[in-house]
Amino acid sequence: MRAQRLIDAAKRTPLPEGTYAIGAGLLVAGISAYGFQILAARQLSETEYAALNGLWAIVFIVAPGFFQPLEQEVSRALAHRNARGIGGGPLVKRAALLGGILAATVGVIALALSPKLVDELFHDETLLLVALLVAIAAYYSAHITRGTLSGNGRFGPYGLMHGAEGTLRFAACLVLFTAGIGSPWLYGLVLALPPFGAIAVALRGQRNLVTPGPAAPYSELSTALGWLLLGSVLAQALSYASFLAANLLATPAEKDSVGRFITGLFIARIPILLFQAVQAALLPKLAGLAGAGMHDDFKAGMRKLVVIVLGLGVLGTVGGATVGPFAGELLFGKEKFILEHRDLALLAAGSGGFILALTLAQGLIALRGYAQAAVAWMVGIAGFVIVTALGDDLFLRVELGFAVGSAIASGVMAVMLTARMRRGVPDDAVGELVETIGHEPLEI
């Protein structure tokens, strides 16, 4: 059986092919993202920095939300074709057309909402809207390329794409910083353009990625792509909900402080960076642990994942409550960092809960629980909205909302995943979990 062969391979091989390349790429991308944020925070005013991060939040809700599920489905379907000796060119073209429609739709919606975006999130920096449209096109192209690379087993170039994107972004930001340029829209372009450069770097020397083959119907990508897209967008929305809500709820007198709130959010999200750095190297091994049967393998792997994620969450919360303010002042400067121990502890707790929900969502998706995962994210966002609406302290209400919303989402995920595992694990579910976690790392 295919799943058993995958598990046996996981036993014999310390790590799946491409693990180190993907892990290294993610680590470089994560560190360079912090470098970009630190330089931008030190160069821009509070309001300009808040505007730039309004763009950052929208981009990293839309890009992973809409395009990463498509990337994962391209990778899965293309690998399946390659295993049968069937060319995947028509499949990639079909996915590119579908992704193009999604990108165009998102772009039209962004233009329709542009007055609200410019006023509430971009703080009247109109040119950031141009950067948003460029970013949509760039990440659409990047995710289709990643899916094509991983589906063909080109995991070295796949990891290189992650690392090249972050490196190019940080290098361009460093040029602006060194030159003393303080135009937020230029920093917005530095955020938006690097995926194009990363594509060029990763595709250099690659051959036979798109080969002739039979026609590909939309159903070959996935019959549950709609649920996957919905769940992915909702997950990313919850990830940035505290910052978005702080922007929308801030009074005119509080607008400047929102730019300094985002620096605390990035400090609290360090556990997510750690999760990205280790998950490609650790989770495939855990998912493929030997046991009496596939059901036991799956449960043992998920239990170990949960323990590790909970440990990261606790570590992050303790770190936020103790050394968090010191780290924030060291990285971003005392004048740009205003959050206290309580703020960072709550934000770190929310980040820990969010990572746990993501981990459990992977298990649900492996068990075909696409709709259940999306519903859990909906309930988590509803919890965030309710908690945030009850308070009057701007930062405290969004921090509590994030912590509670993430906890609710992970709790609902846990209940639904437990129920599905009790009904039995399909023969190929463990194999899909190994493939998904090993070759399709989560983007946060």
Residues listed for the chain:
444
Q: Is 327 exposed, middle or buried (0-12, 13-18, 19+ CB in 10 A)?
A: middle
Do residues 58 and 243 make contact, with C-beta atoms less than 8 angstroms apart? no
What is the secondary structure of 230-256 as a DSSP string?
Answer: HHHHHHHHHHTHHHHHHHHH--GGGHH
Supply 356's token pair: 């746990």
Q: State the Cα–Cα distance between residues 387 and 215, nearest whole angstrom.
A: 49
Supply 248's token pair: 């929308």
Do residues 3 and 420 make contact, with C-beta atoms less than 8 angstroms apart? no
* 141: helix, strand or coil: helix
Supply 289's token pair: 């642990």
Q: State the Cα–Cα distance between residues 344 and 312, nearest whole angstrom.
A: 15
Number of H helices, E strands in the chain: 20, 0
Low-confidence residues of the chain: pLDDT under 50? 1-7, 9-15, 280-293, 437-444
pLDDT of residue 279: 55
* Planar angle of CA 191, 373, 234, nearest 5 degrees: 35
- Residue 276: name the closest of 31, 3, 16 by CA: 31
Cβ neighbours of residue 177 closer than 8 Å, sequence gap 6 or more: 39, 40, 42, 43
- What distance, in Å, lies between the first and last C-alpha atoms of the chain? 33
* 86: helix, strand or coil: coil
Do residues 259 and 419 make contact, with C-beta atoms less than 8 angstroms apart? no
* Planar angle of CA 266, 128, 228, nearest 5 degrees: 60
Do residues 2 and 430 make contact, with C-beta atoms less than 8 angstroms apart? no
Count CB atoms within 10 A of the CB of residue 2.
11
Alpha carbon 124 to chain centroid, angstroms: 27
pLDDT of residue 276: 62
Domain ranges of the chain: 2-439
Q: State the Cα–Cα distance between residues 297 and 303, nearest whole angstrom.
A: 10
Widest distance between CA atoms in the chain: 63
Alpha carbon 400 to chain centroid, angstroms: 22
Do residues 217 and 77 make contact, with C-beta atoms less than 8 angstroms apart? no
pLDDT of residue 188: 96
Half-sphere exposure of 240 (CA within 13 A, CB side): 23
Query: Mutual orientation of helices 341-366 and 429-439 as an angle, nearest 10°?
Result: 140
pLDDT of residue 17: 54
pLDDT of residue 283: 47
* Planar angle of CA 81, 87, 89, nearest 5 degrees: 110
Query: Mutual orientation of helices 270-287 and 2-12 as an angle, nearest 10°?
Result: 110
Place of tokens 């965030």: 384
Do residues 152 and 209 make contact, with C-beta atoms less than 8 angstroms apart? yes
DSSP, res 292: S
> What phi, psi does 151 have (nearest 5°)?
-65, -25
Please report, to the nearest 10 degrees, the dihedral formed by the alpha carbons of residues 297, 72, 199, 240 taken in order.
Answer: -90
Q: State the Cα–Cα distance between residues 374 and 382, nearest whole angstrom.
A: 12
DSSP, res 218: G
